[in-house]
Each structure stands twice: as structure tokens, then as C-alpha cells.
């Protein structure tokens, strides 16, 4: 895993010991994504141009809903969506704020698949919450890279 010094983007990568098709299913199948990501997306599908919503299942955040606007799906190559980063205060309406873009890119790698994650657009987030959103999502992506690795090992 590596990190970028830019304040606008978070970058991570992980070598997964799983075939590309299997990693792709974990990303592009909404129910599977929700299982490892910590969002209840049962019965939902990711469709370009549509918003997918689900209650967060991560302990302490169950009162929140995750909303993802699916932007691009390129089978076994790229899955991208927009969302409001660290939108955790139920009393705040984040809908007028700019979103960040989350991109998962897959590449063949020896013995498995290289998964690259980039979340960009933090420099457009309101200053009052920009640093906290960046910090929390940076740590969150560290955890999510471990989560997808564990999910793939068990499926």
C-alpha cells in the first residue's frame, strides 16, 4: 500500500491473491461490495448514472446511510462512483456540497490482481470539514483494503 502527499487525493494499492474476475465481482456486485465495505446493499445493483443507497453496518455508524452515485463501470477494469466523503452528521444536509470521485482500477499481477484505489476531489470540499474528511477517509481506505482482502480469502 502506498499513499500520496497530495491534499486532493488519497491513493492506495493492494496485491490481492485472487483472479481478476473474482475481485471484480467483489467490487461491481452491489451486495458483495456491501458485505466487505460495511453497507447493507441487499437486493440492489450498481447502475451507471443511478444512486445506490444503503445503511452503514459498521459499528458506531449504523444510524448513517451511504449514498453512491455510480459513474463508470468498465468490466474487470474500472468501477467508479461519487459520494460525499465522511458525511457522518445526520443533522447536516451534504447534498449541496461537491462530491469526491472514488475509482477502483484492476490490473493483472503475478499470482493475482493489483487493485488501485484513488479518491480525488478533496480540495473542493468545504474548508471547515475538508481536513477531517481527508483524514477519516485515508484511515478508512487502509481498513477497506484489508476488508476486501479478507472477504476474497473467505469467498
Provide the b/e sequence for 132-142 (b: ≥16 CB within 10 Å): ebbeebbebbe
Q: Which of 37, 115, 35 is nearest to 77 (CA)?
A: 115
Which pTM does this prediction carry? 0.94
Give a yes or no: residue 68 inside a domain.
no
Asked if 143 and 124 touch (Cβ cutoff 8 Å), the reply is: no
Confirm whether 56 is domain-assigned. no
| CA angle in degrees (0–180, nearest 5) for 97-116-12 | 70
Instruction: Give a yes or no: residue 16 inside a domain.
Output: yes
Assess whether pLDDT exceeds 50 at residue 146. Answer: yes
Residue 138 in this model has a pLDDT that exceeds 70: yes
Instruction: Compute the average pLDDT of residues 104-128.
Output: 97
Question: What is the model's pLDDT at position 13?
Answer: 97
Summarised one tens digit per residue, pLDDT across range 27-61 is: 999 999 999 999 999 999 999 999 999 999 999 88
Is the C-alpha dihedral spanning 150, 109, 85, 143 positive or negative?
positive
The pLDDT score that the predictor gives to residue 2 is 44
Inside any domain, residue 113: yes
Residue 66 lies in a domain: no
* C-alpha triplet 37, 12, 133: angle, nearest 5°: 65
Number of domains in the chain: 1
Q: Are the C-beta atoms of residues 42 and 30 closer than 8 Å to each other?
A: no
**Closest CA relative to residue 145, chosen from 95, 104, 96:** 104
Q: Is residue 80 part of a domain?
A: yes
What's the CATH number where 32 sits? 3.30.530.20
Note whether 56 and 39 are within 8 A (CB). Answer: yes
Q: How far is the C-alpha of 41 from the C-alpha of 30, rounded, in Å?
A: 6
Establish if 83 belongs to a structural domain.
yes
Share of the chain above pLDDT 70, in %: 97
User: How confident is the model at residue 5, as a pLDDT?
Assistant: 56
Closest CA to 107 of 78, 70, 72: 78
Checking if the pLDDT of 1 tops 70, the result is: no
Q: What is the mean pLDDT of the chain?
A: 95
pLDDT reading at 117 higher than 70 = yes
Q: What domain range is 78 assigned to?
A: 9-37+73-154
**Which residue shows C-alpha cell 456486485?**
29
Instruction: Band the pLDDT of 83: cuts 50, 70, 90.
Output: very high
Q: What is the pLDDT of residue 4?
A: 47
Residue 90 confidence (pLDDT)? 85
122 domain residue, yes or no: yes
Amino acid at each position: 500500500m502506498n499513499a500520496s502527499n497530495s491534499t486532493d487525493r488519497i491513493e492506495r494499492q493492494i496485491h490481492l491473491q485472487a483472479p481478476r474476475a473474482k475481485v471484480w465481482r467483489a467490487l461491481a456486485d452491489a451486495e458483495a461490495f456491501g458485505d466487505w465495505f460495511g453497507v447493507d446493499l441487499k437486493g440492489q445493483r450498481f447502475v451507471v448514472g443511478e444512486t445506490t443507497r444503503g445503511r452503514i453496518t459498521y459499528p458506531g455508524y449504523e444510524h448513517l446511510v451511504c449514498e453512491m452515485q455510480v459513474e463508470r463501470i468498465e468490466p474487470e477494469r474500472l468501477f467508479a462512483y461519487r459520494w460525499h466523503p465522511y458525511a457522518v452528521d445526520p443533522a447536516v444536509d451534504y447534498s449541496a456540497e461537491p462530491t469526491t470521485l472514488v475509482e477502483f482500477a484492476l490490473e493483472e499481477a503475478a499470482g493475482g490482481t493489483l487493485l488501485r484505489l484513488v479518491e480525488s476531489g478533496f480540495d473542493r470540499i468545504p474548508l471547515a470539514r475538508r481536513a477531517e474528511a481527508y483524514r477519516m477517509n485515508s484511515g478508512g481506505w487502509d481498513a477497506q483494503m484489508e476488508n476486501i482482502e479478507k472477504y476474497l480469502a473467505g469467498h
